[in-house]
Chain A
């Protein structure tokens, strides 16, 4: 009979040891900074009181309440690494959106915002989960994957070297690519980044491809299925389902292909 004290595996971060809070409470976060990423996407940096910490890939619910009591609630992926004290959300403005024009256009530093989270442990990755790590993003689907890349960058060099990462990022045009300067600072060979632009008409020298993600592109970017990479695919539903099906067709274990689909209710 054991003493009841459970051994905690070496190398498991503090964040993974904490037990989940009993209730998921709405908290009023304060916007401490806003940063334009593209003409359509903006990052909100939030100070959330009593934030319990998060894992890379998780999201938060955001709630807006109008003066007449009407409520709108949306989920947004967390862009910041677990190691950061603030919670960063990168919101893409949808022209017919109900929430995103406010978040990506009107909100200012000092404003308050109701959030609850972190939420969703399925589409989450810790550096201790290992790799190789294959990240496939469509549009603003890069946001939770950026949290994973930032988390990876916080690890020590030896661990980073043991977990090689490749990101395949599909965007409409060069102007739509979020975080491009920061992504450029993630150094090869630990992190490899391949861009494909689906609607760019003029050649862009850093974009390796100019078409939708297809099997040939995945064959070139993804590790062989025999290497058993862990894949995270995030973007619009048709892209995610196409990429996930292609990966499985190539021979990847469906249990190691995790997906996060964006629906039309976003915004």
Chain B
């Protein structure tokens, strides 16, 4: 069940995403596979639970990214993202 209080920002997933990407992708622009809107990952809506985080499009609610940690493995589902545009000069993060 998703409640209003459980809703966080994509920025809250930055640590989990850094386990996958070599740099901070919260400033990268993600294009939603549902509505086509492009937003910084940090501006997506994050829903956390015990295993990981689901990032949803603030426009249409589609689950764009899911990242979960299981023992010995990080799982990343990017089915809701058609393009992730990562800038070159991301400051230290």
Contacts and interface: CB of A to CB of B under 8 A. Distances in A.
Contacts of A237: 4-8
B92 A54 contact: yes
Given A120-B24, A237-B4, A261-B7, A52 B15 contact: no
A123 interface: yes
Contacts of B24: 20, 119-121
Interface in A1-42: 15-16, 18-24
B22 to A, nearest CB: 5
Given A20-B23, A22-B22, A238-B5, A61 B11 contact: no
Interface string A101-129: 00000000000000011111111101000
Contact of B93 (A55, A262, A263): A55
Contacts, number: 105
A53 interface: yes
B15 A117 contact: yes
Contacts of B40: 122
B10 interface: yes
B18 interface: yes
Contacts of A61: 15
Contacts of B77: none
A20 B93 contact: yes
A189 interface: no
Name which of A24, A61, A238 has the most chain B CB atoms within 10 A of its CB.
A24
Interface in A55-93: 55, 58-59, 61, 75
A49 interface: no
Contact of B26 (A52, A53, A121, A241): A121
A19 B91 CA distance: 6
B68 interface: no
11 contacts: A16-B92, A22-B22, A55-B92, A119-B18, A120-B12, A121-B93, A122-B41, A237-B4, A261-B12, A264-B6, A265-B6
Given A19-B92, A122-B11, A261-B9, 11 more contacts: A18-B91, A20-B23, A23-B22, A52-B92, A58-B93, A75-B12, A116-B15, A119-B14, A126-B91, A259-B9, A262-B8
Q: Would you list the 5 A-B pairs with minimal beta carbon distance, nearest first?
A: A122-B42, A122-B26, A120-B14, A121-B93, A24-B18
Interface of B: 4-12, 14-15, 18-19, 22-24, 26-27, 40-43, 48, 90-93
